[in-house]
Structure 1
Amino acid sequence: MRILLTGATGYIGSAVLPGLLLDGHEVTAIARSDDAVATITATGATALSGDVTDSDLLSQAAREADGVIHVVTPGGQITDALDNAVVTGVLAGIEGSGKPYIHSSGIWVHGNTHGVADENAPLDPPELTAWRPKIIERMRAARGIRNIIISPAVVYGHGSGLVRMIVDGPQTSDPEPALLFPGTGDQHWTSIYIDDVATFYSAALMRAPAGSYYIVASGQNPTMREIAAAASRSRGLGGRIAPEPPEDSRRRLGPIAEAFCMDQQASGAKARELGWKPIGPSLLDEIETGSYARRI
């Protein structure tokens, strides 16, 4: 298939792109800069210079493709305009064609899950991503396409992503310092390894039905206390941890602090129905001995 991909040089997109190519797809990826063009071209994909907020560009590119995958998921209110521009452009190009269009959301859209969430869980996002439910409504209302929405859990791996903000967090000034973490420590993070996310996008592209929605999660939901303890051991702090004062977390992390303190659990059971299976290392192992571990 000829696939139009957004976000190919971002954290998730940089894993999705080679996966699509490995599966034999031809990929055209939007590139905002000369560096992005070079990075995309080096993979064997075709770079299309432009911006994802250019709805006319997207419309034409989507019309020429066999399917579209949107994985640009930056934080902040800027994404409201960005995502609406993408949906507008893509739908203008392919509505009525029956082509697949995968649009990325995120687990935070469900807010505190009060146990293990599935795809029927209510939408209750923090302020940081409060715009996303309306995007989901637009996608679900689309007709004449194979519309698919993917909400990844907290993505980790390759030493990057949101987890880095915990691993590189501040520590106390005690004689035996402890790593500070946001929240009470009892909140769960539902998680998914980045390469497993990439394989799910490929599976959804080929097999997900129209109107489908998937939470992509490993089923591992460690607490913040467990995550911080693993990071503490990887930093040589002996597993010592302490809660960060809430005002310090807000000052250090900004609006993302609220999301970091949410309690979320998910199994990813529905995603497995497509024949997909997560096989990557656990979040705790990846922090303590994998790509986030400090090499001394």
Structure 2
Amino acid sequence: MKILLTGSTGLIGSAVTSALVAQGHQVTAVVRSQQSSLKASDLGATGVIGDLFDASWLASELRHHDGLVHAAAGSDERDPALNDAVITAALDAFAGTDKPFVHTGGIWTYGSGDSFVETDAPNPPSITSWRPAGEQRVLESDVKASVVQPGIVYGRGAGIPAMLVDGVEDGRLTLIGSGEQHWTTVHVDDLADLYVRVLTQAPGGKAYIGVSGVNPTVRELGEAIAETVVPESDEATVARLGGFGEALLLDQQADGQRAKSELGWSPTRPTLVELLSKGYSTAE
């Protein structure tokens, strides 16, 4: 298939690009600069410079493709508008076809809990309070559309876990909150495999929680990289990290069973604790 992909230079998007190319798909990566286009080329994709906020332009591009994977995130206050524009373009371009659209959501949508499934009601923190409406719009459309909801993505020395590694000073790490909260986790290469499966196998109209089923506590993660870990109050974490801190304080556990049972997804990469204890190399 000829797939248009957003976010090819990001952690998730780059892994998905590589996975799609490895399976013989043609990938067109929407990029913002010539430099990013060169990065996409290194992954085996063809870069096209464009503006994801321009829904009309994106819809025109999509009509020449067989599917869309939306993995881009601005990581700022423009994220809601970016997602709305991409969703609008996809629903416009793919209306009346069976072309698949895979949208990226997130595990934080569910708030705190110890056994999430995709039918649970949303209870997001303020930083992602805008996500459920977009996900619902995707899933309730007449397009063959699916949502992947990743947990804390790790691997390649990147992602949120890198923030923990960078926070170690002289063998000492200040935890995020008490450290007793669990994080759902998924290796980026396992997650990329899930995206490909959703794109090529999913019937549409469903969300898939993208987590390995390994849910370490933040304290366990900290102890894998630091000799001494020091908890802090929730208030101190929010003062330090703002709304991002509120999300990282969520206590979450899930097993991703829908993706495993319906799509045959089977995460195989080392756990986050294992990689952190080995130094969290960019090669793994």
**What's the TM-score, normalizing by structure 2?**
0.94
Are residue 162 (structure 1) and residue 160 (structure 2) matched?
A: yes
Partner of 2:112: helix, strand, or coil?
Answer: coil
Would the aligned equivalents of 2:224 and 2:276 in 1 still touch at CA under 8 Å?
A: yes
Alignment equivalent of 1:278, drawn from 239, 242, 267: 267
Letter in 1 for 2:265: W
Partner of 1:206: helix, strand, or coil?
Answer: helix
Which position in structure 2 is the counterpart of 1:235? none
Partner of 2:120: helix, strand, or coil?
Answer: coil
**Counterpart-to-counterpart distance in 2, 1:165 and 1:74:** 18
- What is the CA distance between 1:178 and its match in structure 2? 3.0
- What is the CA distance between 1:163 and its match in structure 2? 0.9
Aligned pairs for 1:140-219 (under 5 A) are 140-143=139-142, 145-169=143-167, 171=169, 178-219=172-213
Sort the Cα spacing of 1:205 and 1:179 in 2 relative to 1 into closer, same or farther, 3 A: same
- What is the CA distance between 1:250 and its match in structure 2? 2.7
Which position in structure 2 is the counterpart of 1:98? 98
Which position in structure 2 is the counterpart of 1:241? 229
**Counterpart-to-counterpart distance in 1, 2:70 and 2:10:** 11
**Once superposed, which parts of structure 1, at least 4 consecutive aligned residues long, lie more than 4 Å away?**
none
Letter in 1 for 2:202: A
Would the aligned equivalents of 1:128 and 1:256 in 2 still touch at CA under 8 Å?
A: yes
- What is the CA distance between 1:76 and its match in structure 2? 3.7
Sort the Cα spacing of 1:75 and 1:44 in 2 relative to 1 into closer, same or farther, 3 A: closer
Q: Which runs of 5+ in 2 are unaligned?
A: none
Would the aligned equivalents of 1:167 and 1:292 in 2 still touch at CA under 8 Å?
A: no
**Counterpart-to-counterpart distance in 2, 1:241 and 1:138:** 42
Which position in structure 1 is the counterpart of 2:69? 69
- What is the CA distance between 1:170 and its match in structure 2? 5.3
Which position in structure 1 is the counterpart of 2:3? 3
Cα deviation 1:213-271 (Å, max 9, x = unaligned)? 10011000001111111121xxxxx2x21113444423432321001100000001111
**Counterpart-to-counterpart distance in 1, 2:198 and 2:171:** 45
Partner of 1:231: helix, strand, or coil?
Answer: coil
Are residue 252 (structure 1) and residue 213 (structure 2) matched?
A: no
**Counterpart-to-counterpart distance in 1, 2:235 and 2:35:** 38
Q: Which runs of 5+ in 1 are unaligned?
A: 233-237
**What's the TM-score, normalizing by structure 1?**
0.91
Larger radius of gyration: 1
Sort the Cα spacing of 1:106 and 1:76 in 2 relative to 1 into closer, same or farther, 3 A: same
Letter in 2 for 1:148: S
**Counterpart-to-counterpart distance in 2, 1:105 and 1:74:** 14
Would the aligned equivalents of 1:95 and 1:142 in 2 still touch at CA under 8 Å?
A: no
Sort the Cα spacing of 1:214 and 1:224 in 2 relative to 1 into closer, same or farther, 3 A: same
Cα deviation 1:135-185 (Å, max 9, x = unaligned)? 012112211x211110011100100101111222255xxxx8631111121
Partner of 2:225: helix, strand, or coil?
Answer: helix
- What is the CA distance between 1:292 and its match in structure 2? 4.8
> Root-mean-square deviation (CA), in Å?
1.6
**Counterpart-to-counterpart distance in 2, 1:65 and 1:177:** 50
Would the aligned equivalents of 1:76 and 1:128 in 2 still touch at CA under 8 Å?
A: no
- Percent sequence identity is 39
Alignment equivalent of 2:218, drawn from 195, 220, 224: 224
* Structure 1, 204-213 or 70-79: larger mean CA deviation: 70-79
* Structure 1, 190-199 or 85-94: larger mean CA deviation: 85-94
Sort the Cα spacing of 1:58 and 1:3 in 2 relative to 1 into closer, same or farther, 3 A: same
Would the aligned equivalents of 1:181 and 1:243 in 2 still touch at CA under 8 Å?
A: yes
